[in-house]
Amino acid sequence: MQFEVIGVGGAGCRIASAIRAAEPADYPFVGDAFAFDTDTEDLAANAEIPETHRHRYGHTTDDGLEGDVERGFEFGREHADELSRALDEGRPAASDGFLVAVGLGGATGGGTVPELVRQLRREYDKPVYVLATLPADREFVRTDADPASTGVKRSDDGPPRPYAAANAIATLEALDGLANAVVVFDNEEWIRRGESLEEARDRLNREFATRVVAAFAACSDATADAAAATSVVDGNDLRRVFGDTSDVATIGYGEQEVETGGGSRFGLGLFGKKSEPDVEASAAIRAVETTINKALRGKLTLECDRDSAERGLLVVGGPPAWLDRRAVADGQRALQSTIDSQTAVGGDAPRPDGDAVFAAVVLAGIEANRRSDELREWVQNNWKSADR
C-alpha cells in the first residue's frame, strides 16, 4: 500500500517530514509527501519533502487570523481547491489513501484541514486518516508567577496561544464525519518536566512518526530484495481497525535491541535464511513478549482506558529470526483480551537489517478520554466568545 502524506501548517509539515525520514527504505509506504503552509521560511525547513511538493498558500498566518479558528474554517474553504490541485505534483489517484498531519490549536492549519479532508474524500473516495497533535497546557495556561491566570505563558515557549484549547476542540468536532479516523498525539503527556516546547518539538515529532510508521509500514509492499511478511496487514485490515466514522485512535509502541550477528541454526522465527543469527527460542519469546507488553501497557500517544477500545491492531517487527510465531500469536490474544473484542488484527514486519524487535499497538474507537474532557472543561470554564 502507498499513502500520500500531507502536512498542513507548521506542526503538520514537521510531522510529515518526520514520517518521511523514518520510513524504512525496504518497506516504503509513502507514495509522496507534501507540505502546505502559509509561511515560506517554515516551508523551506522541511528538507525531507521535495521542494516541488512544498506549497505556500494564502497570504495570512495564525497571527493574521488572530487565533480565530472560525475564520480559519473560511480560510480553508477558500484554499481547498488550490491545495487539491497542488497534489497533482504527486500521484494521489494511484495512492491507497491519505495521511493528513496537523497540529491542533492553530487557526490556519486546524481551519484548513477539515475542508481539505472533505475535498480528498470527495475527489478520490479513499480513506483519509488525520494525524493530529493536541496542544500542551502551557500553550494556553500561564505557567510562571500566576498559575491562576490564563492566556499567557512563558516567553521561552514561544508566542502565547490563548485560543489553542478552544481551537483544538473545534477542529476535532469539525472533522467528525469527514475523516475516516483521527490518530491523536497528546503533547502534554509527552513533554518532560522543565522542557520547553521548542526543546521538545523535534523529539515529540519523532515519537509520533515512529509509531505511525510502525503501524502503517506493515501494510507496505516489500522491495524485491526485502523479506516478505508471513502475516500481512493490508488495506482492508486498516479499514476494519480504524473504521470509517471519524473514530479517535491512539498508538502504543515498544522496542528492544537484540543481537543480530552469526548464522541461523534453529529456524525458530518466522523465516529461515542462512544468514540469520543463532537465536534461542526463549530469548526470541522474551523479546517479543517484552515489546508487546510495552506497546500495550506503556505510554500511548493519547492516554485512554484500553478496555474502551472497540478495535485493535498489533504489528510486531524486527530481524526475522527474532519474530517467534508463538509469541506473536500470544500477543494478539492478549490484545483481544485487553480490549474485549474479536476485532484485533495482527501482522509481522520483518526488518532483516534492523537491530531491535518492536511492537506497535493501535487502539481505535476509544471512548471519551481524560485529556479531551480536560480541554473541554477548561474551555467551558475559561472561554467566552466575547474574548475574541
254 and 216 both lie in a single domain: no
Q: Rounded distance, CA 370 to CA 302, Å?
A: 9
Which amino acid appears at position 183 of this protein?
V
Top-confidence residue, 193 or 226? 193
Task: List b or e across 137-148, with b for residues whose CB sees 16 or more CB atoms inside 10 angstroms.
Answer: bbbbbbeeeeee
At 1 the pLDDT is 87
pLDDT in tens, 301-355: 999 999 999 999 999 999 999 999 999 999 999 999 999 888 899 888 989 888 9
Q: Which of 220, 237, 272 is the last residue of a domain?
A: 220
> Which residue intervals of the chain are DSSP H helices?
9-22, 40-44, 62-65, 69-86, 107-124, 164-175, 187-190, 197-216, 235-242, 281-297, 325-339, 370-382
Q: Do residues 37 and 8 touch, judged by C-beta distance below 8 A?
A: yes
188 and 76 both lie in a single domain: yes
Please determine, for residue 193, whether its predicted confidence score (pLDDT) is greater than 60. yes
pLDDT in tens, 11-62: 999 999 999 999 988 888 999 999 999 888 999 999 999 999 999 998 755 5
Tell whether 103 is covered by a domain.
yes
Q: Rounded distance, CA 220 to CA 233, Å?
A: 8
* CATH number assigned to the domain comprising residue 77: 3.40.50.1440
Task: List b or e across 22-41, with b for residues whose CB sees 16 or more CB atoms inside 10 angstroms.
Answer: bbbebbebbbbbbbbbbbee
202 and 273 both lie in a single domain: no
Please determine, for residue 267, whether its predicted confidence score (pLDDT) is greater than 50. no
Tell whether 95 is covered by a domain.
yes
Task: Copy the grid coordinates of residue 290.
Answer: 517484552
119 and 216 both lie in a single domain: yes
Q: Rounded distance, CA 364 to CA 313, Å?
A: 8
At 161 the pLDDT is 74
Q: Do residues 99 and 4 touch, judged by C-beta distance below 8 A?
A: yes
Task: Copy the grid coordinates of residue 23.
Answer: 520510513
Nearest to 260 by CA among 325, 354, 359: 354
Q: Which CA distances in Å does 157 have to 40, 206, 263? A: 22, 19, 51
Task: Copy the grid coordinates of residue 148.
Answer: 491562576
Tell whether 157 is covered by a domain.
yes
266 and 216 both lie in a single domain: no
At 229 the pLDDT is 67
* CATH number assigned to the domain comprising residue 306: 3.30.1330.20
- Per the structure, the complete domain to which residue 124 belongs is given by 3-220
Tell whether 234 is covered by a domain.
no
Angle between helices 164-175 and 107-124 (to 10 degrees): 10
Tell whether 377 is covered by a domain.
no
Task: List b or e across 54-71, with b for residues whose CB sees 16 or more CB atoms inside 10 angstroms.
Answer: bbbbbeebbeebebbbeb
51 and 164 both lie in a single domain: yes
pLDDT in tens, 64-116: 577 788 988 999 999 999 999 999 999 999 999 999 999 998 888 999 999 99
Share of the chain above pLDDT 70, in %: 86
**99 strand-pairing partners:** 5, 129
Tell whether 263 is covered by a domain.
yes
Angle between helices 107-124 and 69-86 (to 10 degrees): 40
Please state the φ and ψ torsions of residue 100, each to the nearest 5 degrees.
-110, 115
Please determine, for residue 151, whether its predicted confidence score (pLDDT) is greater than 80. no
198 and 276 both lie in a single domain: no
Number of domains in the chain: 2
At 222 the pLDDT is 66
Coil, strand or helix at 293: helix
Q: What is the mean pLDDT of the chain?
A: 86
Q: Do residues 344 and 311 touch, judged by C-beta distance below 8 A?
A: yes
Q: Rounded distance, CA 241 to CA 247, Å?
A: 10
Task: Copy the grid coordinates of residue 285.
Answer: 519469546
Q: Do residues 241 and 250 touch, judged by C-beta distance below 8 A?
A: no
Question: DSSP labels for 173-190?
Answer: HHHTTTSSEEEEEEHHHH
Tell whether 242 is covered by a domain.
no
Task: Copy the grid coordinates of residue 295.
Answer: 506497546
Counting beta carbons within 10 angstroms of the beta carbon of residue 194, is it exposed (0 to 12), middle (13 to 18) or buried (19 or more)? Answer: exposed
Coil, strand or helix at 248: strand
Task: Copy the grid coordinates of residue 126.
Answer: 479513499
182 and 308 both lie in a single domain: no
CA atoms within 13 A on the CB side of 60: 20
210 and 279 both lie in a single domain: no
Tell whether 372 is covered by a domain.
no
Q: Do residues 249 and 242 touch, judged by C-beta distance below 8 A?
A: yes
215 and 292 both lie in a single domain: no
Q: Which of 182, 202, 220 is the last residue of a domain?
A: 220
Q: Which of 172, 200, 220 is the last residue of a domain?
A: 220
262 and 199 both lie in a single domain: no
Angle between helices 9-22 and 107-124 (to 10 degrees): 60
273 and 158 both lie in a single domain: no
Please state the φ and ψ torsions of residue 177, each to the nearest 5 degrees.
90, -10
